[in-house]
Amino acid sequence: MTLNNTIHMDIERAPRDPGCYLFKDDAGKVLYVGKAKVLRNRLRSYLRPDGDGRIQIPVMLKLATCVECVITSNEKEALVLENNLIKFHKPRYNIDLKDDKTFVSVRIDQRHPWPRAQIVHKYKKDGATYIGPFASSMKLYQTLDALKRIFPLRRCSDHVLKNRTRPCVYHDIGVCSAPCIAGKVTPERYAEHVNGLVAVLNGKDTGVLKELEARMEDAANAHNYEQAAMLRDQVFAIRSTIERQNAQLGGTKAVNRDVIGLYRSGEDCQLHVLLYRDDKLAGSSSHHLTTQLPDDELVEQFTARYYEGDHPVPPEVLLPVMVDDPESLSAYISDKADFTVTIHCPQRGDKLALVRLANLNAEHAMKDREEKQAKTGEVLANLQVLLELENTPRLMECYDISHHQGGEMVGSGVCFSDGAPDKKRYRRYRIMTVEGNDDFACMEEVLRRRLTRAGKEGEFPDLIVIDGGAQQLARVQKVFDELNVVGVDLIGLAKSRDKSGPASKQRYSSHAPQQITDERVFLPGKDEPVTLNQKSPELFMLMRLRDEAHRFAIRYHRELSRKSALTSGLDAVPGIGPKRKKALIKHFGSPAMVKEASVDDLMKVEGVTEKLARAIHEHFRAQTNSPAAEGL
């Protein structure tokens, strides 16, 4: 299966830890969420020719441009996080759970004089205590059955409790303390049972497990193997159920909080933010900084600047180190949020576990960045040697032309800095001097405009890549000579052709031959192109640059084509001249909005009569209902 080259590199850098992975498209939208016990091993399965065998995955992979990983403490936590991420992002290629059910939890309303433990599927902000979530409902039922024999809470509903006049059968067998009958159990003793059960489910009391293990050994020594096996299953169920969960938080109230993690290597610092919304880990972001500031000043300044932007502010922020003045930082962020924001550096408990998880993700992000930089530097150095370039291509630009039968001809220029897209340097060109279908002349115009500007600004790239072969390269070389450009490397990248037809069809068509055509690199002054190893990271780098230029050009061409179709549609309406067309577009903001306007709205534009408004409205309605409307 042919995958985006960035995904190949992301997969090879994936951690060997449990966690979740998110495939995203070029707009950052989550397409698919998955979990794994070992992330790298699971992701590598997508590199197989048939993927992992699921029918929707090949379609998803054609749209994906990157994959991100979030590390968890264990596989079970990854399962819970996967559930939360799917519900939050609603990825197109995950199974759509119509009933919106989630993992089970234990609900205990401690405001009631005689609380009972209930297994529920959803959290509610009702003031009760929720413990969980737990991945296995079967093991949770086993656990509660065992714990209620030690902590005999009532099992009946409030209605039954209120109307019962004698103890139930559960009291007779010793698994209910019978609060329904006065004098059977005091409120203080019953509260001890409740607190004990909550402590065990929260993993804070191992005395119950030790007691059960001791009873299991006694039963085995007495050759009561059936009883020993039952106790063994209860111990296993309790251990599995109360394993710590960091993907979702329990408590009496759903909490929104951000958890900031820090990992440092000298002046290189990585900060990772985990976003918990309604107690669920909904997302994360990673930020790299180079600074000599001490950790406390770094975290304080980062936190303040992070919430100065568009990031949503939660009521609580957990920090990895104690800052010098948390009250002032809290007041500053609270002013931005218009509500009180608590700043806390936890030293123990569940919140400390969350910070450690954020630190672990920051460490992975730092190591991932270092590995990527080292590999990218090696790839760029190899490109210089393999293509005999004058410069190490740290700053590369690629240009492409897009049009449809000579209409709306545009050019694109994209830039990679140290192997990564530098979108601030992307440029779009509307062809001004070329008439007809002449890609070579269009490329000349684009490069002439680019290099002229570079000469004025004094900033040239190390390498310019042309999407084309020897002929296009020769035409662009004339521009270099004309403008006396030196010190900038120039190459062309093109697919070879064979008897089967155009290379693009061979590579991308589902009916294409099995052989894959070679990508060839054309160099100025060289008669024969250079053919790099077709699986080499050096070629992947060039292909990724070329594909990005192609995508950027097509996007601009389609945008102009849509605007042109709508604008020319106005020209076809009798009575619409340049002035009225300009007035309509100015009033509605765009040609597309003119198309959607009603007759009454059109009549609000100066110079548009009711007759003309109806003519415009009917004209676009006719276009919408015609077969050609699909192009609009």
- In the chain the first and final C-alpha atoms are separated, in Å, by 34
Q: Is the pLDDT of residue 416 over 80?
A: yes
CATH fold of the domain at 5-89: GIY-YIG endonuclease (3.40.1440)
> Which carries the bigger pLDDT value, residue 557 or residue 95?
557
Neighbours of 375 (CB within 10 A): 15
Instruction: Provide the CB-side half-sphere exposure for 587 (13 A, CA).
Output: 18
- The confidence score (pLDDT) of residue 464 equals 94
In CATH, 395-554 is 3.40.50.970:
no
pLDDT band for position 5 (50/70/90)? low
Residue-wise pLDDT for 27-75, tens only, equals 788 888 888 889 998 888 888 776 666 667 788 888 888 898 988 887 7
Q: What is the C-alpha separation between 242 and 234, in angstroms, rounded?
A: 12
Kindly report the backbone phi and psi dihedral angles of residue 41, in degrees, each rounded to the nearest multiple of 5, phi listed first: -65, -40
The candidate with the shortest Cα–Cα distance to 279, out of 141, 79, 128, 125, is: 125
Task: Reduce the secondary structure of 514-543 to three states and give it as a string.
Answer: CCCCCEEEECCCCCCCECCCCCCHHHHHHH
pLDDT, the chain, mean: 79
Lowest pLDDT segment from 197-206, 442-451, 583-592: 197-206
Q: Is 135:76 a contact under the CB 8 Å cutoff?
A: yes
Percent of all residues in the chain with a pLDDT value above 70, rounded to a whole number = 81
Average pLDDT over residues 302-330: 85
Q: Is 503:478 a contact under the CB 8 Å cutoff?
A: no
Given the candidates 1.10.3720.10, 3.60.21.10, 3.90.1150.10, 1.10.150.20, the CATH classification of the domain at 572-631 is 1.10.150.20
Average pLDDT over residues 379-383: 91
Neighbours of 158 (CB within 10 A): 12
Q: Is 580:608 a contact under the CB 8 Å cutoff?
A: yes
Domain ranges in the chain?
Answer: 5-89, 104-241, 265-367, 395-554, 572-631
Q: What is the C-alpha separation between 320 and 338, in angstroms, rounded?
A: 25
DSSP symbol at 314: P
Distant-in-sequence, close-in-space partners of 6: CB < 8 Å, separation ≥ 6: 65, 66, 544
Average pLDDT over residues 456-477: 89
Instruction: Provide the CB-side half-sphere exposure for 230 (13 A, CA).
Output: 7
The DSSP secondary structure of 354-365, one letter per residue, reads HHHHHHHHHHHH
Q: Is 133:278 a contact under the CB 8 Å cutoff?
A: no
Whether the model clears a pTM of 0.85, i.e. scores above it, the answer is: no
Q: Is 103:134 a contact under the CB 8 Å cutoff?
A: yes
Bridge partners (DSSP) listed for residue 627: none
Residue-wise pLDDT for 483-541, tens only, equals 998 899 999 998 765 444 444 444 333 333 334 457 889 998 888 888 888 888 888 88
